Amino acid sequence: MICHRIGSSLAAAALFVVLAVGAAAQTATPDPQDFSQIAHGRYVAVLGDCAACHTKPGGPPFAGGLAIETPFGNVVAANITPDRDTGIGRWSDEQFIRAVTQGRAPGGVRLYPAMPYPAYAKMTTRDLIALRAYLNTLTPVHNRVHSNQLPFPFDIRLGMVFWNALFYTPGTFKPDPHKSADWNRGAYLVEGPGHCGTCHTAKNFLGADEPSRYLRGFSVQGWFAPNITGSDHVGIGAWSVQDIVSYLKTGVNAHSIASGPMADEIEDSSSHMTTSDLRAIAVFLKDQPGGETPSGQAMATDDPVMRAGEAIYTDECSACHTAAGTGVTRLFPRLSGSALVQSAEPTSLIHVVLEGSRAVATDPAPTAPAMPPFGWKLSNRQVANVLTYIRNAWGNQASPVTAGDVSAARRSLASNAP
């Protein structure tokens, strides 16, 4: 991909379209002789983070994954190796593209949007064909996967016809000629193969994106995928483009360290992306509107909850995160000024305090420091107090966390335990 390196003028954006279309036309079929196409396909698999769902940890690559938790029940990612009986070896290229971009597998089987086909719909034919070319080179693995583990009525795949009619928008990504090549490349990556909104955009009661809350954060599987828009207070507006690139490439930057599901994403996907693609993603994200900054005031320091929280913080947290909440770069996340700490939903904060969490390890930042669990030690009230404190100390400002929030999270984490 050279297109996004060209300047940011309108002409360049137009050239981007021409190049993309031209490239697609040149490579209409997967060619096992075409090294470049296969290499490109491998990179597309990285962009799409296919392995995250389709490879079981420790299992053979792409031979089917772990159960993916959805609010409706579990869905297991398919075997996408070229095995003819249990994989996708018998599929034509058209069938492959239809499955990835429209959620329709051969035989009229409707996929569930746990497979993010509404995002993959935006992918170019060139990328999809290259991806197929790469998948064709994998070792076929005989592994029959029973994808549909949903309870009635969600197990009726035909229901997806109506879902698609309501929420699915067909059509590949259309660049915005008023934006730079970087911005357009970033938009393609974020909206298409990167499918960032799958976690970071709020869903309605049927599990479809709410466009008005695009990338403004959502709770998924006991974690809050934070607001990643350009908002200073609730998003990542305070991060420079380089900060975002560093975070996605290495898992750490001066503000934060990735853990939870984002640690997996970085390890499997974004740490392998090119720096120019990561920069493009950063440019696009920083241009996204983040919604209103919440008004209000931080809780008073002499509030009894704040005092109780401060005492717990001093005893249990300050040795690593420091008394001033500044953390240690590359080791302990900064709490003061952190958008995640001040996010409307404290889901991730409660999760991390109760169960602990290990940061991602990458070659440039291999430390993988971990937060130990405190759920065995602190009561619901104590967790609530210390979280309320960090959300309102050092200039931070966010709603208090209640013991009820912590109690609910405890129950939910226990029921989701493997």
Partner 1 sequence: MARKLPATDVVVIGLGWTGAILSHELLQEGLRVVAIERGPWRDTASSFPPGYAPDELRYAIRNGLLVQPAQTAMTFRNKPGQTALPIRAWSSFLPGNGVGGAGVHWNGQTWRFLPTDFVARTHLTKRYGAAFLPSDMTIQDWGVTYDELEPHFDRFEYLCGTSGTAGNLQGKIQEGGNPFEGPRSRPYPTPAQRQPYAATMFAEAAKELGYHPFPQPSGNLSQAYTNPLGVTLGACTYCGFCERFGCGNYSKASPQTTLLPVLVRDPNFEARTQCEVTRINVDRSGTRATGVTYVDTSGNEWEQPAAMVLLCAFQLFNVQLLLLSGIGKPYDVNTGEGVIGRNFSYQTTSTVEGFYDNRIFNPFIASGANGMIIDNYNGDNFDHGPYGFVGGGYIGMIQTNGRPIETTPVPPGTRRWGAAWKKAVADNYLSSIAFFCSGSEYSYRDNYLDLDPTYKDHLGRPLMRMTFDFHPNEVKMSAYLTDRAAEIMQKTNPRQMVKHPRTAPYSVVPYQTTHTCGGAIMGTDPKTSALNRYLQSWDVSNLFVMGSSAFPQNAGYNPTDTVAAIAYWSAKAIREQYLKHPGPLVQA
Among 371, 383, 398, 406, binds partner 1 (CB under 8 A): 371
**What angle, 0 to 180 degrees and rounded to 10, lies between the N-to-C axes of helices 403-416 and 347-355?**
70
Shortest reach from residue 362's CB to partner 1, in Å: 9
- If one asks whether residue 386 binds partner 1 (CB under 8 A), the answer comes out as no
- Cα 108 versus chain centre, distance: 29
Among 369, 396, 406, 409, binds partner 1 (CB under 8 A): 369
Among 172, 274, 276, 367, binds partner 1 (CB under 8 A): 367
Name residue 40's amino acid. H
Among 86, 102, 148, 329, binds partner 1 (CB under 8 A): 329
Structure tokens at 340: 């995640």
Whose Cβ is closer to partner 1: residue 105's or residue 359's?
A: 359
- If one asks whether residue 374 binds partner 1 (CB under 8 A), the answer comes out as yes
Q: How far apart are CA 120 and CA 75, in angstroms?
A: 18
Q: Which window, 74-82, 130-138, 324-332, 335-343, contacts partner 1 (CB under 8 A)? A: 324-332
Are the beta carbons of 355 and 373 closer than 8 angstroms?
yes
Strand partners, 220: 223
Shortest reach from residue 327's CB to partner 1, in Å: 9
Among 52, 138, 368, 408, binds partner 1 (CB under 8 A): 368
Whose Cβ is closer to partner 1: residue 92's or residue 139's?
A: 139
- If one asks whether residue 276 binds partner 1 (CB under 8 A), the answer comes out as no
Q: Which of residues 141-200 bind partner 1 (CB under 8 A)?
A: none
Shortest reach from residue 316's CB to partner 1, in Å: 7
Whose Cβ is closer to partner 1: residue 5's or residue 330's?
A: 330
- If one asks whether residue 328 binds partner 1 (CB under 8 A), the answer comes out as yes
Shortest reach from residue 415's CB to partner 1, in Å: 23
Whose Cβ is closer to partner 1: residue 19's or residue 320's?
A: 320
Cis amide linkage into residue 153, ω under 30° from 0? yes
Whose Cβ is closer to partner 1: residue 259's or residue 342's?
A: 259
Among 66, 109, 320, 408, binds partner 1 (CB under 8 A): 320
Site size toward partner 1 (CB under 8 A) is: 24
Q: How far apart are CA 71 and CA 319, in angstroms?
A: 38
Containing 190, the helix (H) or strand (E) segment is helix 181-191
Are the beta carbons of 354 and 376 closer than 8 angstroms?
no
Q: What angle do CA 338, 339, 342 make, to 5 degrees?
A: 90
Q: Which of residues 332-361 bind partner 1 (CB under 8 A)?
A: 332, 356, 358, 361
Structure tokens at 306: 């704040």
Residue 365 CB neighbour total at 10 angstroms: 22
Whose Cβ is closer to partner 1: residue 292's or residue 363's?
A: 363
Q: Minimal CA–CA distance to 221: which of 102, 366, 66?
A: 66
Among 316, 394, 402, 413, binds partner 1 (CB under 8 A): 316
Q: How far apart are CA 188 and CA 280, in angstroms?
A: 9
Under DSSP, the state recorded for 88 is S
Whose Cβ is closer to partner 1: residue 106's or residue 356's?
A: 356
Q: Minimal CA–CA distance to 371: which of 416, 417, 320?
A: 320
Name residue 12's amino acid. A
- If one asks whether residue 319 binds partner 1 (CB under 8 A), the answer comes out as yes
Whose Cβ is closer to partner 1: residue 14's or residue 370's?
A: 370
Residues in CB range of 17: below 8 A, 6 or more apart: 175
Whose Cβ is closer to partner 1: residue 174's or residue 358's?
A: 358
Question: What is the three-state SS of 207-271?
Answer: CCECHHHCCCCEEECCEEECCCCCCCCCCCCCCCHHHHHHHHHHCECCCCECECHHHHHHHHCHH
Are the beta carbons of 91 and 82 closer than 8 angstroms?
no
Structure tokens at 200: 């970071």
- If one asks whether residue 363 binds partner 1 (CB under 8 A), the answer comes out as yes
Q: Which window, 216-224, 268-276, 278-286, 367-375, contacts partner 1 (CB under 8 A)? A: 367-375
- If one asks whether residue 254 binds partner 1 (CB under 8 A), the answer comes out as no
Q: Which window, 45-53, 115-123, 218-226, 373-381, contacts partner 1 (CB under 8 A)? A: 373-381
- If one asks whether residue 24 binds partner 1 (CB under 8 A), the answer comes out as no
Among 330, 399, 403, 407, binds partner 1 (CB under 8 A): 330
Name residue 186's amino acid. G
Maximum pairwise Cα distance, the chain = 71
The residues binding partner 1 (CB under 8 A) are 316, 319-320, 328-332, 356, 358, 361, 363-374, 377
